[in-house]
Amino acid sequence: MIKAARMMLTCHWSARRIQRYLDADPSAPLEPQDIRRLEAHLAVCEKCRGAEQELRQINAALSRWTVRTMPDPNSVEHVQEFLDRLTGGTTHDGT
Ligand SMILES: [Zn+2]
């Protein structure tokens, strides 16, 4: 029970960082220990691995579409909806 709750919290924690992890945005880099924690979670969590795969595909699509333009707002919204769906109803952030 407690273990499951911790897993869900970690899924929520991971979901909020996968995008940054994949972007490797130099203006908002993940801490090395966060990357380690995220990778450790991805190694054991099928749900977040699926999320990472889906976000990789979205990112690849976005990068093809946005060579010269701003990101398509619909695509950005899709990413946000996807993250909301991933974390929706399973989180108790406590903050
Ligand atoms: Zn997870």
Task: Find the 74 Cα to ligand 1 centroid distance in Å.
Answer: 26
> Which of 81, 91, 89 lies closest to 55, judged by CA?
81
Residue 93 lies in a domain: no
Please count the structural domains in the chain: 1
Residue 63 lies in a domain: yes
Task: Find the 69 Cα to ligand 1 centroid distance in Å.
Answer: 33
Residue 48 lies in a domain: yes
Residue 92 lies in a domain: no
pLDDT in tens, 14-64: 988 998 888 766 777 889 999 999 999 999 999 999 999 998 998 888 777
Task: Find the 80 Cα to ligand 1 centroid distance in Å.
Answer: 17
**Whether the predicted model's global pTM rises above the 0.85 cut:** no
Task: Find the 93 Cα to ligand 1 centroid distance in Å.
Answer: 14
pLDDT in tens, 55-88: 899 888 877 765 555 556 677 777 788 888 887 7
Would you state the structure tokens that stand for residue 21, as one six-digit string?
Answer: 């992890």
Residues 48 and 11: beta-carbon distance below 8 Å: yes
What's the pLDDT score for residue 46?
94
Task: Find the 20 Cα to ligand 1 centroid distance in Å.
Answer: 16
What's the pLDDT score for residue 5?
66
Residue 71 lies in a domain: yes
What's the pLDDT score for residue 69?
58
Residue 70 lies in a domain: yes
Q: Which domain holds residue 61?
A: 2-87
Residue 47 lies in a domain: yes
